[in-house]
Amino acid sequence: MSATSPSSATPSIGLPAGSGTALPAPGVALGPAPPAERPGTADRQLSRRALAAVGGVVASGTLIAVAAAHTESLLPESIRPVPAALAGAFGSLFLNLHVGGAIAALVLMFISYAAVVALAGQLSARVVLLAIAAVHAVVLLAPPLASTDVFSYQAYARMGAVYGINPYTHGPYANNPDAVFQYVGARWSTIPSAYGPAFTVFSYLLAPLTIATSAFAYKSIAAVASLALVAVVWRCAQLRGADPVKAAALVGLNPLLLIYGVGGGHNDLLMLLAMMGGVYAILASRERVGGALSLLAIGVKLTAGLVLPFALAAGGSARQARAGRRRLAVGAGIGLIALAALSLSVFGSGSIHVLGTVIKSQSGGDSPSIPGAISTRLGLPTLGHITGFALAGAFAVTLCWLLRRVWRGQTDWIDGAGWAMLAMLVASSSVLPWYVAWLLPLAALARDRRLATTAIAFTGVVQLITLLGYIPHGFL
């Protein structure tokens, strides 16, 4: 991983690379580029290769969604075999891809996705947006895919709203007579909530729902949040003079975001919507709103906190940057006060434990990570833990280095945040497939084109590791 050199600092909106113009920062007006300068607004000549790639994403995504109810490798273990109430709209079709078919469909989806992004200049906005909407719709109609998190959300919600148990001090085991407990993943049954207080309070509203209704409610929320995220990324790309069609494709057609993020109903998409809403507000010189939305994103999931320091560092000591930074800090401060008041009023001091819970859940390590692979695949847990600490130290050094470059105007702040997000994922002891979505919107808006390419490559690596987990032990 490397950033741009000082001599090739990222240009301002609408100017060609290498112009030497200072980087845009909070407080500097960033109005949209004139229509003639916006990539993606002119007529595009469609190519058969590009259309075939789009068709590959839609067809493979549809096949996975239609077959999921009877393909056990696509389902979380707690719903194998899937109950009728959770089978989704395609449960009556009895299509089973088996392990080999599921792997083939996911590989085809990734290859098609990479081709769509590469050929985005040969696709119209209508084709890409219709494809994004279509795949979101069919995945929404499938059963919960791959993860038990939607059941954990409901378990934590019922703990607080029904049983009066603080979800930040107790795991779902505390209300194990409740019917949802049997669907919670075994690993998470004793772990308190690792989610932000804003999301947990919101989840209380869904506590009265049945298990199946709540699962599809969380999937619906994830799907709507994902589509809204695409719209925000599109608008941000226009403000930055980037190609909005390519940016939308990079985010909205990513197979890990679709199959695991939307398919699993994950709250990461809500977090990303608030986080990128904050980025859009900052780009549009509405820094107070941007700061408040950034804190709302943290209130959903702590991961979002990585972006705000880069926005605050942008522009260094320039006068306009200082004014924008003050407005951003005021908005973030108001958001922090509101979040703290909400948390203390509903959970008391319990939510203070959330950071410790995140650290504890990460320390166990999963095979979809470098330390986890060393610990579980190679059977060397001590070396795995040492590697984890070394990677954490490397991430801290990388974070400081990137912030310094952004402060000095050597790296664009969104680029810096994107590289930092990638570094955090690489250093993490647990990288689940839908975590790749954290990187996508930042990569889609980055001026450093290497970040988008790296995001696609990282998607491929994480998908490969995930698919290896589908193969029964002893088969290879």
Question: How many other C-beta atoms are found inside a 10 Å radius of the C-beta of residue 101?
Answer: 16
CA atoms within 13 Å, Cβ hemisphere of 13 = 20
pLDDT in tens, 72-96: 999 999 999 999 999 999 999 999 9
> pLDDT at residue 123 above 50?
yes
* Cα–Cα dist 374/353, whole Å: 29
Q: Where are the domains of the chain?
A: 44-149+209-468
| Helix, strand, coil content of the chain in percent (nearest 5) | 70, 0, 30
Residues 182-199: pLDDT tens digits?
Answer: 999 888 899 999 999 999
Q: In which band, very low, low, confident or very high, does the pLDDT at 459 lie, cut at 50, 70 and 90?
A: very high
Q: How far from chain centre, in Å, is Cα 402?
A: 21
267 neighbors 251 (Cβ within 8 angstroms): no
341-377 residue pLDDT tens: 999 999 999 888 898 888 777 765 555 778 877 877 7
When pLDDT is cut at 50, 70 and 90, the band that residue 432 belongs to is very high
Task: State mean pLDDT over 412-437.
Answer: 95
pLDDT of 335 strictly over 80: yes
Is residue 408 within 8 Å of residue 316, measured between CB atoms? yes
Cα Rg of the chain (Å, integer): 22
**Whether residue 26 has pLDDT greater than 60:** no
pLDDT at 86: 97
Per-residue tokens: 337? 């006060």
pLDDT at 25 over 90: no
pLDDT digits (tens, 9 = 90+) for 45-74: 789 999 999 999 999 999 999 999 999 999
Confidence grade of residue 10 (pLDDT, cut at 50, 70, 90)? very low
pLDDT of residue 455: 98
pTM reported for the whole predicted model = 0.89
CB 412 within 8 A of CB 23: yes
Q: What is the pLDDT of residues 254-295, one digit of tens each?
A: 999 999 999 999 999 999 999 999 999 999 999 999 999 999
**Helix (H) or strand (E) run with residue 425 in it:** helix 413-427
pLDDT of the residue at 40? 44
Residue given tokens 């499938």 in the structure block? 142
pLDDT at 1 over 70: no
- 67 neighbors 88 (Cβ within 8 angstroms): no
Residue 227: closest CA among 251, 263, 259? 251
355's CB contacts (< 8 A; 6+ apart) are: 302
- Reported as a single tens digit per residue, the pLDDT across 377-401 is 777 888 888 888 899 999 999 999 9
In this predicted model, which residue has the larger pLDDT, 408 or 34? 408
- Percent of the chain at pLDDT above 70? 88
Q: Report how far residue 22's alpha carbon sits from residue 25's, in angstroms, rounded to the nearest whole number.
A: 9
Q: How far apart are CA 151 and CA 153, in angstroms?
A: 5
Residue 367, pLDDT score: 59
Least confident of 15-29, 303-317, 378-392, 429-443: 15-29
Q: Is the pLDDT of residue 27 over 50?
A: no
Residue found under tokens 């993606």: 40
pLDDT tier at 318, thresholds 50, 70, 90: confident
Look at residue 22 in the predicted model and tell me its pLDDT. 39
pLDDT confidence band for 167 (50 / 70 / 90): very high
SS3 409: coil
